[in-house]
Chains A and B, each alone.
Chain A
Amino acid sequence: MTPNSLDEIEQLFEAVLLLPKGECTAYLKSQTSSKEIINEVLELLQAHNDLGGFLTEPLSIEDDFILICPDLSGRLVNVWQVSHQIGQGGMGRVYLAHRADGEYEQTVAFKVVEYKAFNNAAFLKERQILADLEHPNIVSLLDAGTLQEGYPYLIMEYIDGLSIDDWVKQSKELTSEERILLFVKLCKVVQSAHDHGIIHCDLKPSNIYISNDGALKLLDFGIAQSLHDVNATKSDKAESFSFTPEYSSPNRHQHKFPTIQDDIFSLGIIFAQLLTGKTPIMQRSDEIAQPDSKAIAKQIDDIELQAMFLAMTGANNSATHYRSMAELIDDFGFYQNNFPLKALGDNFTYRAKKHLQRNWRRWLSALVIISLLITGGVRHWKTQKIKKDSELIREILSAQVSDTDASLEQQSGMTPTRKKLMMSMVQQLEKLVKNSSNNIQLTKMLADTYNRLGVVTGSPYVLSMGNIPESRRYQYKALALYEKIQRQRKDSLAAHNDISRVKREIAKLYAADNDTKRMREYYAETLQEMEKAYRDQPLKKQHTLAIVYIVGAHGEMHLGNLKYSQQLLDQATKILQALDVREHKVNYEIETRFIKEETAHILLLKSDLNAAKAIYTALLEKKLKNNHWRLVRSHVRVNTALGCIYLQKQQQQIALQYFKQARKFATKLSNKYPAVESLSKALQHYETLDKASSEELSSIMFCTEPRKFMMPLTRR
């Protein structure tokens, strides 16, 4: 069309606007002969009649202009030189930036908040929480401010690495155990944020990075809310939050206020993705599709992992829905150690199956015993009826616990499981005791279990988790309970024994902390306790007290309190001399021998070589009346001590004879107990004996540190 015809159209268009509808065509035909122009004008007229409010109101910025910050590439903001955009999230874009003031080299992520319903107060609070958190697996906040355009910005640690899903994809060879371990690690990070009152609200693979040096990093606490806030407002409706449909719970899809369980839900979806390598299956209910938990669950083959996934997403029922990260992490621990999962609830058959998986050896032997009982001795079983039922049940339970614990102790790496077992026992018993606080048997069971829990948590001389302060807390609990029992049964010897045992344990814990003062306080109390208990008993019944003295003497000797150690030994001797020898055959021999040996050790430590040598030699002259392992071990020590004494006297040949003698007994012991690792390990020391020089002998046999071969007297 020519410019002229365009002008013509415009003129005609204006004219027909004023005409009644029916007259337009006739009018146009009277004005022009061009059918093209007539059609154009009529079409425009039709459009004019149809357009309603089209373009009538100027574009209003409030409606349509949602924040887009100008491209910041190349801009210098404060000390940060922005380089280029590297990502875009729910709250805005992320740029790579460098520190530009020459202070030091630093590459950072520069994050601009482009979000209309942005709450500045919440943002400021979040900045503070992030700064306070300082968690090595949560990206740290380095700086923050406001651009001249009004957009807030955050400077975060820049993570050079891969998002968790890409990382897993890249490391194809990961086993499912490794995937689970990675996930548990992630859970622990989230847990510590929860402990600080922060919910992430937007957990998804692209917010979880594995840096090039292998560290797990959680980013984008973009919309994290303070837990305390949720409690304070109690509002059911969130103002307006961003969320990622693929990883968001139904609760978040309904715009309800975020909770811990929303994070757990997101973790569930991530968990499934890590296991299966597949992105979440979605279902469309209304406009925004939601993750389809039940369909996703079907992709997970392992029944237990599937149950845990469902318990994370709360898809099956509310009873198994995890309420905290701790519950979730616990279940992973149970999963790894074949304990029943919380996620699978109270299904008896399932629990029994797990029990069998854990303890199949014990069950096998139990079956053998039961069949023997049935064939051979039903009569014997009946005599048990004499005992009161409740007493019997308690005994069976206690035996069950100590059996289970003992058998678990034999297996390597079971210490955490033992602790969990004790922990859940304690929780159950606490409930029972609460309901019947006067039941001494229950209270005693609880105290025993606390004592056991304490030992496995951190007792220094046995297999334990090594957490001394926590262990001490449990021992104090046990102590309080034993003392309560003692108040109810004033004359109970057993109660005194229990108290003494716990205090001794507490003393050991303080010793491990190098808190000698408290250690001795508790040991002194142990002694008092025992003395109180046995004061009115005849000497010949004070055998247990004698052992306490000997143990105390040994401890004091190790601390270097040789004089006090000797006093304790004298006390023990006094008791032992009064004992009826026929009644305590083996023990008498062992304990009197130990007292002598200990006395000799003290003399050796005092460098009174001749006096020590006399006692040691006398000990060897007595032939061993039995082969109890404690006596054999004593022979190893005494021969070693004598060897060291002769070595110091420069009589190497005689020294070597004693050392070989020590080796003989050690070998004998190791052959008898082949499963005990420490014994076979000790033999290695003697291997180079024959060819060693005097100095070498001294170091092989620990002559320079005699306390090392003076083994602890306590028996595990």
Chain B
Amino acid sequence: MSVAHNVTNSPNTIAPINELKDVELTPTIYPELKRLASYHMFKERSGHTITPTVLVNEAYIKLVKGNRLKAVDRHHFLAISSRCMRQILVDYSRERNAQKRGGSERVLTLNEELAESDQQKSIDVIQLDNALKKLEERDLVQVQIVELRFFSGMTNKEIADLLGISVATIKRKWAMAKAWLYREMS
């Protein structure tokens, strides 16, 4: 992709995640992603799958190409977007759990859809998020790979390009991260 050649920062010098948290881009990208996500949910309802990758790409086109964000290289943008996607999904899970518990003592209308999808889903996003926070202390790159693969749906090749690491390394770190997270979560 041509954008990839405009990279100004070396991929290896990508900012550490803790710093990314406070990056000024997040306040712009996060709501845009969320908006896009819900927009798609309304437009294309049942049977339609929308991947995070599509959302991230759309957000990129809209924000960067639409000149609402200046001088952001694509890699940087994708890294922040993945982090945002993780945050969005964690926020969502928290809110859903709060809803399920009923929040206060007030009786809430039960949404059947919530109950159903809850049973099918085996991954507890909040638990995963907590495990990822622990993993951050061991290996930041592994965390980034998980975000990019699981929360943003990118392929190993794309991630390798993005982070400037070989595909072999990505594979190794991905396998390692999965095993570590699995042990941590079970």
Interface residues of A (CB under 8 A from B): 1, 6, 10, 13-14, 17, 43-48, 50-51, 54-55, 58-70, 88-91, 115-118, 148-151, 202, 204-206, 222, 240-247, 255, 279, 287-288
Contacts and interface: CB of A to CB of B under 8 A. Distances in A.
A151 B179 contact: no
A88 B99 contact: yes
B107 A204 contact: yes
Contacts of B91: 68
12 contacts: A13-B176, A17-B175, A55-B123, A58-B150, A68-B38, A68-B91, A88-B99, A90-B109, A118-B42, A148-B35, A149-B34, A246-B107
Contacts of A10: 139, 172-173, 176
Nearest to B149: A58
B175 A240 contact: no
Given A66-B41, A88-B99, A90-B111, 6 more contacts: A43-B183, A51-B179, A59-B151, A66-B92, A89-B108, A115-B113
Contacts of B178: 48, 51, 54-55
A312 to B, nearest CB: 19
B88 to A, nearest CB: 8
B122 to A, nearest CB: 8
A643 B111 CA distance: 82
Contact of B112 (A150, A204, A240): A240
B68 interface: no
A469 to B, nearest CB: 42
A63 B108 contact: no
B31 interface: yes
B113 A116 contact: yes
B112 A241 contact: yes
Nearest to B31: A70
A243 B113 CA distance: 11
Interface residue SS majority, chain A:
loop
B104 to A, nearest CB: 9
Contact of B42 (A150, A206, A244): A150
B121 A150 contact: no
B71 interface: no
Contact of A55 (B39, B150, B176): B150
Contacts of A116: 41, 45, 113
A222 B109 CA distance: 10
A244 B109 contact: yes
B67 interface: no
B3 interface: no
B37 A54 contact: no
A702 to B, nearest CB: 63
Contact of A47 (B39, B172, B182): B182
B34, B38, B43, B176 — most chain A CB neighbours (10 Å): B38
Contacts of B151: 58-59
B152 interface: yes
A68 B180 CA distance: 31
A117 B45 CA distance: 8
A61 B37 contact: yes
Contacts of B53: 58
B121 A64 contact: yes
Contacts of B121: 63-64
A242 B146 contact: no
A600 B171 CA distance: 120
A240 B109 CA distance: 13
Nearest to A56: B178
B153 A58 contact: yes
B182 A54 contact: yes
A240 B182 contact: no
Contacts of A150: 38-39, 41-43
Interface in B97-142: 99, 103, 106-115, 117, 120-121, 123, 125, 138-139
A60 B51 contact: yes
Contacts of A17: 175
B179 A13 contact: yes
A486 B117 CA distance: 73
A149 B176 CA distance: 38
Contacts of A70: 31, 34-35
A59 B89 contact: yes
Contacts of B95: 68
B79 interface: no
A287 B186 CA distance: 25
B96 interface: yes
Contacts of A65: 37, 41, 50, 89, 92
A244 B107 contact: yes
B111 to A, nearest CB: 5
A88 B179 contact: no
Given A44-B183, A55-B146, A58-B153, A242 B41 contact: no
The 7 lowest CB-CB distance pairs between A and B, nearest first, are A90-B109, A58-B153, A150-B42, A47-B183, A48-B179, A62-B49, A47-B179
A46 B50 CA distance: 34
Nearest to B95: A68
Given A70-B31, A117-B113, A90 B51 contact: no
B109 A242 contact: yes
A529 to B, nearest CB: 64
A65 B38 CA distance: 8
A150 to B, nearest CB: 4
B48 interface: yes
Nearest to A87: B106
A89 B109 contact: yes
Given A47-B182, A48-B175, A88 B108 contact: yes
Contact of A59 (B43, B153, B173): B153
A43 B183 CA distance: 8
Nearest to B41: A67
B55, B120, B152, B175 — most chain A CB neighbours (10 Å): B175
B27 to A, nearest CB: 12
Interface string B137-180: 01100000010011111100000000000000000110110111
B175 A64 contact: no
Contacts of A46: 183
B29 interface: no
A53 to B, nearest CB: 9
B113 A240 contact: yes
Contacts of B106: 206
A666 to B, nearest CB: 65
B181 interface: yes
A221 to B, nearest CB: 13
A47 B180 contact: yes
B15 to A, nearest CB: 19
B99 A242 contact: no
Contacts of A14: 172, 175-176
A224 to B, nearest CB: 13
A63 B139 CA distance: 29
Contacts of A246: 107
A171 B41 CA distance: 45
Contact of A66 (B109, B114, B152): B114
B40 interface: yes
A384 B128 CA distance: 95
Nearest to A206: B106
A57 to B, nearest CB: 8
B34, B41, B112, B113 — most chain A CB neighbours (10 Å): B41
Contacts of A6: 138-139
Contacts of B41: 61, 65-67, 116, 150
A343 B37 CA distance: 52
Contacts of B123: 54-55, 59
B111 A115 contact: yes
B66 to A, nearest CB: 15
A65 B186 CA distance: 24
A90 B125 CA distance: 23
A63 B46 CA distance: 10
B113 A288 contact: no
Contacts of A243: 109-110, 112
